[in-house]
Amino acid sequence: MKVLYEDNHIIIINKAAGEIVQGDKTGDASLCDILKQYLKEKYNKPGNVFVGLPHRLDRPVSGVVVFAKTSKALERLNEMFRTGAVKKIYWAITKDTPQPTEGTLSHWIVRNEKMNKSFAHNKEVKEGKHAILDYRTLRCSQNYTLVEVELKTGRHHQIRCQLSAIGCPIKGDLKYGAKRSNPDGSISLHARKVEFVHPVSKAQISIEAPVPADRLWQSFEE
């Protein structure tokens, strides 16, 4: 577990692909559990340790996750994420280059719970939630493209679904149209950066997560 930032109210982690943020039916240890144990040992805390989660990342995704260490911070962060007061920047590696190379994507996304998959529609549909993101192409290699995404809304599998909808599925993301999986089961989507006003101190927070230790990721970060 890599800590990127910590103070009395919040702690920010660089999540590895494959780690789960919150407990699920697999029964695998979650980042929430690991973090509670870390705080308990670091500060010699008796009893239960409070860790609140104002947002999530999918299991195969890496990058920045913000946790709250106090209920006051959690309540305020929940509201900040809900209202879009937190700037969220992602990096995605795609096989194809988006056309145009930068722009805004606007879809209505419908989530299928049974399939654990979202479907993008160009027009408003029943049960659809409006999904908006800005994207720009950062770099191209011989076979892949690095795309930067700024999320404007927070929908289920939003980036995965919307990039797939324009013919640019994320590398390794079989669920959304990638031709082959990544060897480690990850998808090449990384929560690169968060920026927000601290919920308690009101200081400006800007945290960037280094990319995974993978040759392709590293070549794009250089």
Q: Catalytic amino acids?
A: 58
Cα dist. 16→1, 62, 88 in Å? 8, 5, 17
Measure CA of the first residue to CA of the last residue in the chain; give whole Å. 23
Q: Which long-range contacts (CB under 8 A, 24 or more apart) does 198-204 make?
A: 198/7, 198/9, 198/10, 199/9, 199/10, 199/68, 199/72, 199/73, 199/76, 199/77, 199/80, 200/8, 200/9, 200/70, 200/72, 200/73, 200/76, 201/7, 201/9
SS3 79: helix
Q: How far is 14 from 21, CA to CA, in rounded Å?
A: 11
